[in-house]
Structure 1
Amino acid sequence: MLNLKLIGSVLEQQIRFNDNKSLFYDRGKSALGPSPRTLCWLLEYRARMIKVLERIFADGLLNHFTNKLAEQGIRHFIQVNQFMQFTSKDKLELAGLYKDQFMRIWSLLKNEGAGEEVVQQFFHKHYQQLRTFLIQTNGEELFKKYTMDPHLFWVPCEQYSANLQVAWLGLDVEHLDPPVLDLGCGPKANLVRFLRGKKIEAYGMDREVEELENQPFLRRMGWMEASFEKDQWGTIISHLAFSNHFTHHHLKSDGEPEAYAQKYMELLMALKPGGSFFYAPSVPFIESFVDQLPQYFVRRTRVTGTQQMTQITRLY
């Protein structure tokens, strides 16, 4: 475990060194690279780092460590921009990329002639591979703004109080049809905990929520990977989550609006007869289609001067 802690501490300070710097900046020399401390460890403590890496390899810890590193990387990408989406397959691919990098740095360190310039080249190639990974998983358009400034352009996902969500969506809490699913409930699942405190059978799903044995009502998963069975939910709620991302993909030239439209219809069919899907913002480009289907009733309510929420009820 000491070996993992050492590698972990080196990686942590390296991440902090490049924190808030854009991977995609192309209008000057990139500020991304190894920190002075990383260079010190790799060049001045070369023999020790070789032994640490070889111990990790021998103990069979590399896969475990790179999987954890991939989880942290995905989490950081999402924190930078909430519209980034990654599947389980993407996470495995990123873990494989990190695994290859550990093997390459070990090989580099064993070459006594490899100095600072070689290490700089290693990191330059590593960040190129990360850029390629992000474009392959999320398309090029999302990152256009990141090419213009050496610093990150943040689009974080906010967490809202239960009371604000109830008010924004106009929920009649005492008369919600159970079971209730909060889709994109957020890491703290504020609304789910609020509803369960009122003895309402409520569940939460979010790619950032923590799954614990004493909280089986929370599921860590993205909605695009989840399956929703027909007649499964009495109420589905999604505040500034699913429909926000749907609109993003609808407007994005290299987005996946068809996949979101299919998932949207899957969610509507997952409602029990009489159940409702409450969400904001509204998505009129598909609601106009749903409004023509006899089994659904669409109601939109203006929340602010520019924003509306939607309630879709399955009639039968």
Structure 2
Amino acid sequence: MLKPFIRIVDHQLQYNGTKSLFYTGLKGSLATEPAQETIQLFKHDTEKLRAFFSPAHFQEQGQLIQYSTRKIIELFIKTNQFLNFTSKDYARLSVVNYTFMQQIRDILHHHFPLPEQAIRAVFAVHYNQLRMFLIDTNGKDIFKKYELSEHTFEIVCAEYRPEFQICMLHLDLEQMMEPVLDIGCGHSGKLVNYLRANGIEAYGMDRMVEDNGWFMNRNWSDTKFPDNHWGMMISHMAFSNHFGHHLYRKDGKYREYMTKFTNMLHSLKVGGSFVYTPQIPFLEDVIMTSERFRVIKHGAVTTAIMKTE
């Protein structure tokens, strides 16, 4: 019974995928709305909906909430890679989705036949809750541009060929200390797969990658890295871009990224390195004063920080 409702979620996300939650029309109307197919389902398959939202299907309702939460977060990140969500944020969004389902259940039991106005009203409340969720988790400033247009603009997060990344990061496959962790490896993990194909024990961490034996679906900025564990940590653009983004935002969380950077360095084995591009000059100037780490710059683009003791 769950599959039809997953299709509803997927259809709604596709229908509103390029619409801004922050844009309102002249009469206060939202750009996001229920699709006509969804409205028709609510109006004509009311009994099926009532059955699904009954206590007998509580477990499936929980699965639908988990699925919706994951897919909504993925859409937000795809729209803007600089949006950041912690594990607590996932839990909070699950509550938002649970409340939405409770509101749907209420209108199903209080209206027959179900009027379109009631359907649109409950969806409008949900979209406003999603908007408040985004503001509470990522601040107001990052969404100001989204108030100007009905449609969102894409902030591209591309994956590059492994050979290009190896060149940019100045990696020598014969000299890499294992195990290796690629921070922000991308949903395909191209570099990780390339390294493993060449006999290197490599792992990847990214919010969009599928979990398996060597890929971890995690937000690296919300992960506690164990001390003295990694032989090498690498990050092609992910760490630097996100750190720089928060550094120049008025409401940026750059102090949290400084703390995470320290945690990552301590997670290296002695003799291990954190290699990233582009460079972050002021941060590297601070590290240069430490006796425990050595800063090695490769041109004007890439930096390697080696743990010396």
Per the shorter chain, which TM-score range?
Answer: over 0.9
Per-residue CA deviations over 1:267-289 (Å, capped at 9, x if unaligned) read: 11222222211101111121111
Task: Give the secondary structure class of the aligned counterpart of 1:182.
Answer: strand
* 1:48-87 aligned within 5 A: 48-54=48-54, 57-87=56-86
* Change in 2 beyond 3 A, CA 1:187/1:258: same
| 1:186 positional shift | 1.3
Q: Do the aligned residues in 1 keep the contact of 2:84 with 2:138 (CA within 8 Å)? A: yes
| 1:60 positional shift | 2.5
**Counterpart Cα distance in 2 of 1:274 and 1:51:** 61
* Change in 2 beyond 3 A, CA 1:203/1:259: same
| Matching residue of 1:4 | 2
* Change in 2 beyond 3 A, CA 1:59/1:233: closer
**Counterpart Cα distance in 2 of 1:26 and 1:61:** 34
Q: Does 1:155 align with 2:178?
A: no
- The AA in structure 2 aligned to 1:253 is K
**Counterpart Cα distance in 2 of 1:274 and 1:112:** 68
Q: Do the aligned residues in 1 keep the contact of 2:274 with 2:306 (CA within 8 Å)? A: yes
- The AA in structure 2 aligned to 1:192 is V
Q: Does 1:18 align with 2:16?
A: yes
| Matching residue of 1:267 | 264
**Counterpart Cα distance in 2 of 1:157 and 1:31:** 25
| 1:59 positional shift | 4.9
Q: Does 1:314 align with 2:307?
A: yes
Task: Give the secondary structure class of the aligned counterpart of 2:305.
Answer: strand
* 1:59-208 aligned within 5 A: 59-112=58-111, 115-208=115-208
TM-score, normalized by length of structure 1?
0.91
**Counterpart Cα distance in 2 of 1:126 and 1:44:** 22
Of 279-288 and 10-19, the range deviating more from structure 2: 10-19
Per-residue CA deviations over 1:154-183 (Å, capped at 9, x if unaligned) read: 113211111010011111111111221111
| 1:83 positional shift | 0.8
Q: Does 1:281 align with 2:278?
A: yes
User: Any stretches of 5+ residues in structure 2 without a counterpart?
Assistant: none
User: Any stretches of 5+ residues in structure 1 without a counterpart?
Assistant: none
| 1:5 positional shift | 1.8
Task: Give the secondary structure class of the aligned counterpart of 1:248.
Answer: helix
Q: Does 1:255 align with 2:248?
A: no
**Counterpart Cα distance in 2 of 1:59 and 1:95:** 15
Task: Give the secondary structure class of the aligned counterpart of 2:53.
Answer: helix
| Matching residue of 2:209 | 209
RMSD: 1.7
**Counterpart Cα distance in 1 of 2:59 and 2:293:** 54
TM-score, normalized by length of structure 2?
0.93
Per-residue CA deviations over 1:53-94 (Å, capped at 9, x if unaligned) read: 327x53532112201111111111111111111112211211
Task: Give the secondary structure class of the aligned counterpart of 1:106.
Answer: helix
* Change in 2 beyond 3 A, CA 1:11/1:275: closer
| 1:27 positional shift | 5.7
* Change in 2 beyond 3 A, CA 1:180/1:146: same
**Counterpart Cα distance in 2 of 1:195 and 1:119:** 51
**Counterpart Cα distance in 1 of 2:216 and 2:39:** 41
**Counterpart Cα distance in 1 of 2:187 and 2:143:** 25
* Change in 2 beyond 3 A, CA 1:231/1:59: closer
* Runs of 4 or more above 6 Å deviation: none
- The AA in structure 1 aligned to 2:266 is M
**Counterpart Cα distance in 2 of 1:295 and 1:89:** 33
| 1:225 positional shift | 2.3
* Change in 2 beyond 3 A, CA 1:37/1:264: same
**Counterpart Cα distance in 1 of 2:146 and 2:42:** 30
| Matching residue of 1:239 | 236
Task: Give the secondary structure class of the aligned counterpart of 1:34.
Answer: coil
- The AA in structure 2 aligned to 1:244 is N
Task: Provide the aligned length of Structure 1 versus Structure 2.
Answer: 306
**Counterpart Cα distance in 2 of 1:169 and 1:100:** 46
